[in-house]
Amino acid sequence: MLTVKQGAALSVGAVLGTGVIALPGLAAQVAGPAALIAWVALIALSAPLALTFAALGARYPDAGGVASYVGRAFGPRAAAVVGWTFYLAVPVGALPAATFGGAYVAAAVGGGHRTTLLTAAALVALVTAANLGGVRTSGKVQLGLAAALVALLLAAIVTALPHADLANLRPFAPHGWLAIGPAMAVLVWGFAGWEALTSLAADYRNPRRDVPRATWIAVGVVGLLYLAVAATSQLVLPTPSEAPLADLLAIGFGPGARALTAVVAVLLTAGAMNAYFAGAARLGAALGRDGSLPPWFARGAEAGQVPRRSLVVVAGLAAVTLAVAAATGLGARPLMLATSGSFVVVYVLGTAAAVRLLPARSRARRTAAFALVSVLGLLALTGWYVLWSAVVAVVALLVERRYRLRSSTMCMAASSADAAPPSMPTSEPISSFSSSSP
């Protein structure tokens, strides 16, 4: 079972993830120092979003996570859409996440794109192995990763800040104030993750007490670290950097810090992927249990069990995505934006479910309503990349309908067999019913 510390560490890893490696520089390229406003806005949004999912997890702990909440509120078809959207977003998003970390390793040891891809493959194998041991093992691994990466990030901030120069904040909005909107769209990637751990709510010792506690800890740690790294990057680095963390550590510790930066990048990447693989594996088993995926996936859906079949599928899809990218030269950016679009769709449906399920006139419901309005704004910023989620939704509905009809047919056939007179062969009514089914 998960402890509060382990759950908070999984949340920190899922949200902090790879965003802190590259996003400060990417956002600064879009909006200049005004990107700090985008950071503050998304940090402010992440708190009600996280607390909304924590309130749902505390009241309805289930391996299905957001999909189960949407199912309670809007029915099995909506649950299938959310479940498939999140489940398939994880292996697709694993590639840009892993390559962000791999690029830092390549910068430290050489080898270029080949080193990046080999590191990405090693990260997929590492987090798969960690999760095969179960959520308890995964939680312990994540606790150690979270402690290490927080310490290293603080070291980078503290050693680089003495080199801060306020002149680096001028001009504050070189690309205009409207550039803050596109900067927020870029930063959505860095704040995806608050929904990932809802699938693990049932694995806490006391979900109603522990899920909110773990979430509050994670919100505080993530918000402070993100804002501190972004602000330090703006104040210390005269121009936007594609590897701001590496540059900060080099300023604080000298050029030899490149190897340390690679360690930080790998830790951050492994932490994010570990949390997402754990949540997605649990979700896939729940979808198999509920009929949104084939029943083969259902093994390991109960609390305390290890959903190894679902985990192997997630890892396999991540490996296939990596292989396709290596063969075609597909970059990480389109996959990153498609993944962000998927997460925003999950947020919209999840917060809408919270508005419907949480007690009327409660603080939790008001928080959920605010979060819903905010994520609808993020959906508008996602643009055409949300079309990937639309394709996934269509497939999910087709599969859900197939297994729902099959389940209904089997149940009705069984009822006909039970109702048949003892002398009547049961095969006749079943065959007749089956032949008349659509």
CB 79 within 8 A of CB 67: yes
- 């189960």: which residue's tokens? 68
| pLDDT score of 45 | 85
| pLDDT score of 354 | 94
How many Å apart are CA 176 and CA 196, to the nearest integer?
35
Residue 299, classified by CB atoms within 10 Å of its CB into exposed (0-12), middle (13-18) or buried (19+), is: middle
Taking alpha carbons only, the member of 335, 343, 274 closest to residue 135 is 274
Close Cβ partners of 119 (under 8 Å, ≥ 6 residues apart): 98, 101, 102, 105, 106, 266
Phi-psi group of 136: left, alpha or beta (phi > 0 → left; psi -120 to 50 → alpha; rest → beta): alpha
Close Cβ partners of 161 (under 8 Å, ≥ 6 residues apart): 232, 235, 236
| pLDDT score of 373 | 93
Phi-psi group of 299: left, alpha or beta (phi > 0 → left; psi -120 to 50 → alpha; rest → beta): beta
State the CB neighbour count (10 A cutoff) for residue 236.
Answer: 22
* 356 φ/ψ angles, rounded to the nearest 5 degrees: -80, -35
Close Cβ partners of 34 (under 8 Å, ≥ 6 residues apart): 172, 173, 175, 177, 179, 180, 183
Mean pLDDT in consecutive groups of 10 residues from the start of the chain, 438 residues? 76 73 83 93 88 87 80 89 87 85 82 87 89 64 72 86 90 90 81 70 78 85 90 89 77 78 80 80 84 84 79 92 86 78 88 93 92 87 77 80 57 47 39 31
Close Cβ partners of 293 (under 8 Å, ≥ 6 residues apart): 83, 87, 284, 287, 399
Peptide bond into 48 cis (omega under 30): no
40, amino acid identity: V
CA distances from residue 326 to 103, 112, 316, 322, 323 in whole angstroms, order as listed: 14, 13, 15, 6, 5
| pLDDT score of 188 | 79
- Architecture field, domain 4-436: Up-down Bundle (1.20)
pTM (2 d.p.): 0.74
| pLDDT score of 420 | 47
Average pLDDT, the chain: 80
Distance between alpha carbon 138 and the CA centroid of its chain, in Å?
16
| pLDDT score of 242 | 65
| pLDDT score of 313 | 94
Residues 136-168 pLDDT 10s: 555 566 667 677 778 878 888 999 999 999 999
CB 379 within 8 A of CB 345: yes
SS3 424: coil
Q: What is the DSSP letter of 2?
A: B
- 């801060």: which residue's tokens? 164
How many Å apart are CA 67 and CA 396, to the nearest integer?
12
Residues 266-290 pLDDT 10s: 877 887 788 778 888 888 888 888 7
CA distances from residue 12 to 125, 137, 271, 297, 350 in whole angstroms, order as listed: 21, 17, 8, 28, 20
Q: Whole-angstrom distance between the N-terminal and C-terminal Cα of the chain?
A: 45
| pLDDT score of 381 | 74
Domain boundaries, the chain: 4-436
| pLDDT score of 410 | 45
| pLDDT score of 136 | 56
* 65 φ/ψ angles, rounded to the nearest 5 degrees: 55, -130
**What is the longest distance spanned by two Cα atoms in the chain?**
93
- Please spell the DSSP secondary structure of 354-416, one letter per residue: HHHHSPTT-HHHHHHHHHHHHHHHHHHHHGGGGHHHHHHHHHHHHHHHHHHHHHHHHHHHHHH
